[in-house]
Amino acid sequence: MTLALTDVSADLGGHPILHGVSLEVVPGELVALVGPNGAGKTTLLSVMSGDITPTSGQATLDGVELHRWKVAALARQRAVLPQEQRLAFGFRAVDVVRMGRAPWARLPEEDLDDLVVAEAMQRTDVLGLADRSFPTLSGGEKARTSFARVLAQQTSVVLLDEPTAALDIRHQEQVLSEARRLAADGHAVVAVLHDLTVAAAHADRICMLADGRLRADGPPREVMTPDVLGEVYGHPVDVVDHHGRLVVLPHLIALTEEDPCASVLS
């Protein structure tokens, strides 16, 4: 399943957020959406999921506009990990993961529910939390449980909004390794990431947004240059190669008694 946006613009509350964004995500690749705060990353992911309909342009999955898909059919093709993990009731962790199987109810795939849920929880290191009430989990545990729900949904397209935000180093690597595994298995995976070094290490492709526009799109080594990053983020950086991995290092800001916002150290 190919996810394609063509000249997409989108508003929120009457305010324009996205402006003429075009990109395509194909099976077998992990795409990282990066950019400064307010660049439009979450809005773009919402357009990709079908939760927001563009004010102009087209967003399609398998050649069909997302707003034309039936809800249940779309839920069997794309899964979404939102930025915030909120539940109104005290469901157990295993019940939250099982929610990912809802689109397959009354279909032959339903017979695999128990197996799929257990495997998803194993892959995200939350099997030991199965009987815990979701609200009692830490932020990182909630994030991993919600990611397990996404895995259990078994969709062609996987959309992740800041999947590593609440995680320690080990679990960041675990989650992104699972995202890479999904891509290697033929899924189309999109992840909003703030850590540029992490994005460069795991993504096949970087889509960089600024002011609601796609400013760069390509392999990490082509997109993540000091000039591009400095312009988009409004701050100078160095990009170094560390054992074959790109590391992004922001320049430090020097503070002086005379001028608390003095200058940027190179």
Residue 100: give the domain boundaries.
3-234
pTM: 0.93
SS3 of residue 193 by DSSP:
coil
Angle, in degrees to the nearest 10, between helices 169-184 and 139-153: 10
Looking at residue 166, its pLDDT comes to 86
Count of structural domains within the chain: 1
Decide if 245 is inside a domain: no
Averaged pLDDT for residues 86-106 = 91
Asked, for residue 180, whether it belongs to a domain, the answer is: yes
Confidence of residue 215 (pLDDT cuts 50, 70, 90): very high
Residue 242 domain-assigned (yes or no):
no
Cα atoms in the Cβ-side hemisphere of radius 13 Å centred on 16: 11
Q: DSSP code of 120?
A: H
Confidence (pLDDT) at 89 = 74
What is the per-residue pLDDT for 223? 95
pLDDT at 17 over 70: yes
Can you give the pLDDT at residue 88? 62
Q: Judge contact between 8 and 67, C-beta under 8 A.
A: no
> What CATH number has the domain bearing residue 181?
3.40.50.300
Mean pLDDT of the chain: 94
Residues 5, 21: contact at Cβ < 8 Å?
yes
Tokens of 182: 């999904």
b/e sequence 103-137, b meaning 16+ C-beta within 10 Å: bbeeeeeeeebeebbbebbebbbbbebbebebeeb
Give the residue-averaged pLDDT of 226-242: 96
Q: Is residue 246 part of a domain?
A: no
- Element spanning 59, H or E: strand 56-61
Percent pLDDT > 90 in the chain is 89
Residue 201 — pLDDT band, cuts 50, 70, 90?
very high
- How high is the pLDDT of residue 79? 98
Mean pLDDT, residues 75-98 taken together: 89
Q: At what angle do helices 113-123 and 139-153 cross, to 10 degrees?
A: 140
Confidence of residue 196 (pLDDT cuts 50, 70, 90): very high
Q: Is residue 84 part of a domain?
A: yes
Exposed/middle/buried for residue 170 (C-beta within 10 Å: 0-12, 13-18, 19+): exposed
Tell me, yes or no, whether 256 lies in a domain. no
Three-state secondary structure along 191-218?
A: EECCCHHHHHHHCCEEEEEECCEEEEEE
**What token pair was written down for 124?**
């995200």
Tell me whether residue 213 is in a domain: yes
Q: What is the pLDDT of residue 83?
A: 87
Residue 146, both tokens? 């919600």
CA torsion sign for 245, 161, 164, 250 is positive
Query: How do residues 18-62 score in pLDDT, each as one tens digit?
Result: 999 999 999 999 999 999 999 999 999 999 999 999 999 999 999
